[in-house]
Amino acid sequence: MANSNRSGDAESGNLILFFRRWLANPVQVGSIIPSSYALAQLIASHTQRGGDDFVLEIGAGTGAITRALIDAGLPQDRLILVELDPAMSAVLAERFPRLRVITGDATKLTDILPAEVRGRIATVVSGLPMVGRPLDFQQSIVDACFAVLRSGGAILQYTYSPVSPLPRKRLGLTGKLMGWAANNLPPAAVWRFTRAEASA
Ligand SMILES: C[S@@+](CC[C@H](N)C(=O)[O-])C[C@H]1O[C@@H](n2cnc3c(N)ncnc32)[C@H](O)[C@@H]1O
């Protein structure tokens, strides 16, 4: 009982933190509440990895998707989190003490990721707000991801938009809609992006 009170308190604390960080920086945070477990499970079900590959989650927030990735069986030493907001990354480090949590900017992945991980990432799971952002921001995120993904690797990006969250042609991407999570506020779609030439 005491334990469930504690986890309930932590969850409310995360909701309040998320809302506060959105108030402080709505463009960067992009949502007033964390993703639902239903959306997180949909993302986890499309997250590919094999052997010694890693999964990288960028814009991990307070760990809503992280939780589902671990619950789906992803070994914790194969999952790396990047989060720009120091208050949120402090929550991640406390909530997931066995994960590598990097406080940093996902446009600079080649600088902030450990050398042994670069080029060995099978999937980048992105919670970054992308819709309506400048093309050069979208380009720098996409380039940073493909610079650290292994050959054939992919970006999984969720969106509240009814269409692709990234302009595929302009960014040289092939994108596929993987599914919808109606049970999210608002409902969200999951897209998988690869380099156009890699998926032909
Ligand atoms: C919509 S929230 C998603 C949080 C979490 N993944 C979820 O689904 O609940 C977007 C997150 O991306 C983070 N973020 C925004 N820009 C970033 C950047 N350039 N590098 C790393 N994280 C970033 C924000 O601080 C925020 O935590």
Distance (Å) of CA 23 to CA 16, 30, 87, 108, 139? 11, 10, 14, 25, 26
Q: Kindly report the backbone phi and psi dihedral angles of residue 31, in degrees, each rounded to the nearest multiple of 5, phi listed first.
A: -155, 150
pLDDT number for residue 1:
44
The preferred substitution site among 67, 83, 130, 184 for testing ligand 1, maximizing ligand atoms within 8 Å of CB, is 83
Query: How far apart, in whole angstroms, are the C-alpha atoms of residue 35 and residue 183?
Result: 10
Task: Give me the domains of the chain, ranges plus CATH numbers.
Answer: 2-198 (3.40.50.150)
Q: Kindly report the backbone phi and psi dihedral angles of residue 115, in degrees, each rounded to the nearest multiple of 5, phi listed first.
A: -55, -35
Contact 60, 81 (CB under 8 A): yes
pLDDT digits (tens, 9 = 90+) for 166-194: 999 999 999 999 999 999 999 999 999 99
Query: How far apart, in whole angstroms, are the C-alpha atoms of residue 92 and residue 76?
Result: 13
- What's the pTM value of the predicted model, to 2 decimals? 0.94
Residue 117 pLDDT > 80, yes or no?
A: yes
Instruction: Please give the DSSP secondary-structure letter assigned to residue 24.
Output: H
pLDDT digits (tens, 9 = 90+) for 79-105: 999 999 999 999 999 999 999 999 999
Percent of the chain residues topping a pLDDT of 70: 94
pLDDT digits (tens, 9 = 90+) for 39-58: 999 999 999 988 889 999 99
| 145 touches ligand 1 (CB under 6 Å) | no
| 82 touches ligand 1 (CB under 6 Å) | yes
pLDDT number for residue 12:
82
